[in-house]
Chain A
Amino acid sequence: MKKIDKKVADSYFREKTRNMIIYFAIGFLASFGVVFFAEPLSDITINGFPFHYFMGAQGAVLTFIILLFVNAKMGDAIDRKYGIDENKNEQISSGKVLDH
């Protein structure tokens, strides 16, 4: 066990939190944002759909799926940047859980 500089530990948490806030903002706009402005947006047509309908039926869901995969990938990248080794995570995790 060696101590990590407080700044490094804080910046790990800050990077992850910042990304999460960005993902939430995008997801919020794609769902709640479009619903809120559904009437004015309905004049735009995309692939035969009125825009608000397209976002509700397909656009928002696709956005969510992409955000989750981006989050998983980016999370791995951040872990790598801070020298986290998934194999060690597994070892530690299996020893630390409360299996009773």
Chain B
Amino acid sequence: MDTQFLVSLSIILATFALYIGIAIYNKAKETSEFYVAGRGVPPIFNGMAIGADWMSAASFIGMAGTIMLLGYDGLAYIMGWTGGYLLLTFLLAPQLRKYGRYTVPEFIGDRFDSHTARVIAALCTIIISFTYSIGQLSGSGVVIGRLFEIDAKLGTMIGVVLIAFYAAFGGMKGITWTQVAQYVILIIAYLIPVIFMALQLTGNPMPWISYGELVGKMGELDRELGISEYFAPFTNGTKWQFLALMFTLMAGTAGLPHVIVRFYTVSTMKAARWSGAWALLFIGLLYLSAPAYAAFSRFILMTQVAGSKITELPAWTKTWVDTGKLQVADGNGDGVLQWKELIISNDIVVMATPEIANLGMFVIGLVAAGAMAAALSTAGGLMIAISSAFAHDIFYRVLKPDSTEKTRLSVARWSIVIATLLAGVIALNPPGAITQIVAWAFALATGTFFPALVLGVWWKRSNSQGVIAGLLVGLGVTLAYIFAAKYGGFTILGIIDTGAGVFGATAAFAANIIVSLMTAAPSQKIQEEVMDLRYPEQMVYKDGEVWMNDDGSKSV
């Protein structure tokens, strides 16, 4: 055991103790605390919790590397994953908050007055969140495994036990405040290395302002090497693929159940609006820094590693070559490592940067703790979404509507434990690359929830037959396109599996609208409830008129 191990271990253990302490302090005692944190979270803290919930191991570990390898084409992730908050905050969040339920399937079930729609929506929630959580768990396994030099599988199991414990115990209330702490840790861990690199390379501590010149310089280096420029657009796919992927990531963001639920934890529509703004500000801090990370790392690799003698490579390259994530084979046998002979995996860029830039032990440990925070916070939110879809929407609303609060809480807690263990077992041998699994989860959310929720909120004529048809057609078309593009080589305009959501969403909107118009309109009561979502809480839509609730009376 060396000093580095001890430093990293103590930082990680300190953060774990903090998360568990917060979860115990904020133990959920009632169902409303377990599912929606008692609906009293202030917008600015909810913004941080959304940020931690949202930014996963893929964002923290993988995104900078993806941008480094793909150049401009990787920016579809930056714009897609931030632009989704416009759709979410304008079209859905305040309206869903006013409707006032616990979960997304519950909104769909009550708005369309259909248990069939409720169960389909609950199953979609479980499929999407479960797929997504596999990526988080195997991500946390990689971090723990590398840090403690144990098998990544054992690392995964440690992560699983931790998540199962604090999610089941604290419920949404515990998770919310844990996520606030996790956001603070992950953003500090992400910004410190990139600020130090900016100082080293450009003499300016503001990476966001100073990396532009490096991007230009790298374009010149690329031209000398005769490869396409770093910033050249559409070198890894067509323009249509870029646009389709960006749309899928945006609409998927607006349709992810575990993110939408966070907007139920605030008190009013106004608070939901402000939560969205704060959330994107906090998320933007990381997303604006990721391309800087990418540029600095690529610049160091191009200028300080490529071109040096194979025998004189910096010491940090050796450890990463050992993990198989970095290859430095001298292909043409001239004794010098050429840029083209250097092959780097996208998930080591952030993890290796503290070593590349020689930032010392404390920063290396901090980055590991940040990566863990990102994986754990997202996994916690996902587990609550899965548990509520099962325990609340299927068990309580459909199967056993007369069960006591105590039974429901224990079903919710046990379903978290079981779902976490199940996801953990699958994460031991993940069925595909993590980024790919995550992209599929987004395509599925785009094809199912996004159309169902937008039409449910904005179009009173949409009815239960329409939403059922829309959910099933969207799911079917998205899955069919993913498989056809991935395994059948079938593509339209060069759009590959990751952009499948654009077709799923189009089909789902069309199916929902056509079937709704062909069948009977929803009841007067439901149509009035939908009209009511246009106005703030104080204005009430009733009997074709709008009323002002001046005395704030609760009986409406």
Residues on A close to B: CB < 8 A? 1-4, 6, 8-9, 12-13, 16, 20, 23-24, 27, 31-32, 35-36, 38-39, 42, 45-50, 52-54, 56-58, 60-62, 64-65, 67-69, 71-72, 75-76, 79, 82-100
Q: Which residues does chain A contribute within 8 Å of B268, judged by CB atoms?
A: 86, 89-90, 93
Q: Are B85 and A2 in contact (CB under 8 A)?
A: no
Q: Which residues does chain B contribute within 8 Å of A90, judged by CB atoms?
A: 267-268, 537
Pick the residue among B78, B213, B246 that contacts A61 (CB under 8 A).
B78
Question: Given A35-B243, A48-B213, A68-B277: A20 and B90 within 8 A (CB)?
Answer: yes
Q: Are B32 and A53 in contact (CB under 8 A)?
A: no
Q: Are A94 and B267 in contact (CB under 8 A)?
A: yes
Q: Are B556 and A61 in contact (CB under 8 A)?
A: no
Cα(A48)–Cα(B75), bound, Å: 17
Cα(A69)–Cα(B90), bound, Å: 12
Q: Are B246 and A32 in contact (CB under 8 A)?
A: yes
Q: Are B267 and A24 in contact (CB under 8 A)?
A: no
Q: Which residues does chain A contribute within 8 Å of B39, judged by CB atoms?
A: 93-94, 97, 99
Q: Are A12 and B288 in contact (CB under 8 A)?
A: no
List, sorted by A's number, 22 A–B pairs whose CB atoms are closer than 8 Å: A3-B548, A4-B545, A20-B91, A24-B90, A27-B83, A31-B246, A32-B246, A52-B231, A56-B79, A57-B288, A58-B208, A61-B82, A62-B288, A65-B82, A68-B281, A71-B89, A79-B536, A85-B552, A88-B550, A93-B98, A93-B269, A94-B554
Cα(A46)–Cα(B504), bound, Å: 37
Near A by CB (< 8 A), chain B positions 201-234 give: 208-209, 211-216, 219, 231-234
B388 to chain A, nearest CB (A): 13
- The 9 closest A-B CB pairs, nearest first, are A95-B554, A48-B212, A97-B100, A56-B75, A9-B546, A68-B277, A48-B213, A57-B291, A88-B552
B187 to chain A, nearest CB (A): 15
Number of A-B pairs, beta carbon distance below 8 Å: 207
B286 to chain A, nearest CB (A): 10
Question: Given A45-B216, A53-B72, A100-B31: A2 and B550 within 8 A (CB)?
Answer: yes
Q: Are A92 and B79 in contact (CB under 8 A)?
A: no
Q: Are B546 and A6 in contact (CB under 8 A)?
A: yes
Question: Given A65-B277, A75-B273: A24 and B242 within 8 A (CB)?
Answer: no
Cα(A36)–Cα(B244), bound, Å: 12
Q: Which residues does chain A contribute within 8 Å of B212, judged by CB atoms?
A: 46-49, 54
Q: Which residues does chain A contribute within 8 Å of B213, judged by CB atoms?
A: 48
B280 at the interface (CB under 8 A from A): yes
Main secondary structure of the interface of A (DSSP, over half): helix
Question: Given A1-B540, A71-B277: A86 and B85 within 8 A (CB)?
Answer: no
Q: Are B280 and A64 in contact (CB under 8 A)?
A: yes
Q: Are B550 and A1 in contact (CB under 8 A)?
A: yes
Q: Which residues does chain A contribute within 8 Å of B545, judged by CB atoms?
A: 3-4, 6
Question: Given A48-B213, A49-B215, A88-B549: A75 and B270 within 8 A (CB)?
Answer: yes
Cα(A16)–Cα(B270), bound, Å: 13
Q: Which residues does chain B contribute within 8 Å of A57, judged by CB atoms?
A: 75, 78, 288, 291
Cα(A66)–Cα(B70), bound, Å: 28
B539 at the interface (CB under 8 A from A): yes
Q: Are A89 and B216 in contact (CB under 8 A)?
A: no
Q: Which residues does chain B contribute within 8 Å of A27, judged by CB atoms?
A: 83, 86
Cα(A58)–Cα(B67), bound, Å: 13
Q: Are A96 and B291 in contact (CB under 8 A)?
A: no
Cα(A53)–Cα(B534), bound, Å: 38
Q: Which residues does chain A contribute within 8 Å of B72, judged by CB atoms?
A: 38, 52-53, 56
Cα(A23)–Cα(B539), bound, Å: 24
Residues 472-493 of chain B, each 1 if its beta carbon lies under 8 Å from chain A, else 0: 0000000000000000000000
Q: Which residues does chain A contribute within 8 Å of B79, judged by CB atoms?
A: 31, 35, 56, 60-61
